[in-house]
């Protein structure tokens, strides 16, 4: 099974900061990587698919990059509504998927 390791597990940041979250796969997954945002009490929301493609309606301050085993999610200028938990998800054997452990973005 492919394991996904996210880091950091939490990050404290201020509005306007640039935030980067990383995700590492235990084996190569090409570009089969998605990123989700989850707010308390809500279902996750898809931000990025295929490692770098922005889901429709998602602000352009979100971007994704990487391929193979190492991936990043970047929020270029953190906004108040971005404080949430972010998950990566590999889909190399879709529909079988595996999620990373999550990164909580907190207010500094």
Partner 1 sequence: QLQLQESGPGLVKPSETLSLTCTVSGGSISSSSYYWGWIRQPPGKGLEWIGSIYYSGSTYYNPSLKSRVTISVDTSKNQFSLKLSSVTAADTAVYYCARQLVVVAATIYWGQGTLVTVSS
d(CA 43, CA 6): 19
> With binding defined as CB under 8 A, does residue 60 bind partner 1?
no
Choose which of 25, 32, 75, 82 interacts with partner 1 (CB under 8 A).
Answer: 32
> With binding defined as CB under 8 A, does residue 57 bind partner 1?
no
* CB nearer partner 1, residue 16 or residue 40: 40
Task: List the one residue out of 87, 77, 91, 82 whose CA is nearest residue 29.
Answer: 91
Task: List the one residue out of 21, 34, 13 whose CA is nearest residue 77.
Answer: 13
Q: What token pair was written down for 93?
A: 């054997």
> With binding defined as CB under 8 A, does residue 53 bind partner 1?
yes
d(CA 39, CA 86): 9
d(CA 90, CA 35): 9
Choose which of 13, 46, 54, 58 interacts with partner 1 (CB under 8 A).
Answer: 46
Within 8 A by CB and 6+ apart from 41, the residues are none
Tell me how far, at minimum, the Cβ of 102 lies from partner 1, in Å: 5
Q: Taking contact as CB under 8 A, which single stretch among the options 12-20, 46-54, 58-66, 68-76 is the one that binds partner 1? A: 46-54
Q: Binding residues for partner 1, per CB under 8 A?
A: 1, 32, 34, 36, 38, 43-44, 46, 49-50, 53, 55, 87, 89, 91, 94-102
């Amino acid at each position: 099974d492919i394991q996904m390791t996210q880091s950091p597990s939490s990050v404290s940041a201020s509005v306007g900061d640039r935030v980067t979250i990383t995700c590492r796969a235990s084996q190569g997954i090409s570009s089969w990587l998605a990123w989700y945002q989850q707010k308390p009490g809500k279902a996750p929301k898809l931000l990025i698919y295929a490692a770098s493609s922005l889901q429709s309606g998602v602000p352009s301050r979100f971007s994704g990059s990487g391929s193979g085993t190492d991936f990043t999610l970047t929020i270029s200028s953190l906004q108040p509504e971005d404080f949430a938990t972010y998950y990566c998800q590999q889909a190399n054997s879709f529909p079988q998927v595996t999620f990373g452990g999550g990164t909580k973005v907190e207010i500094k």
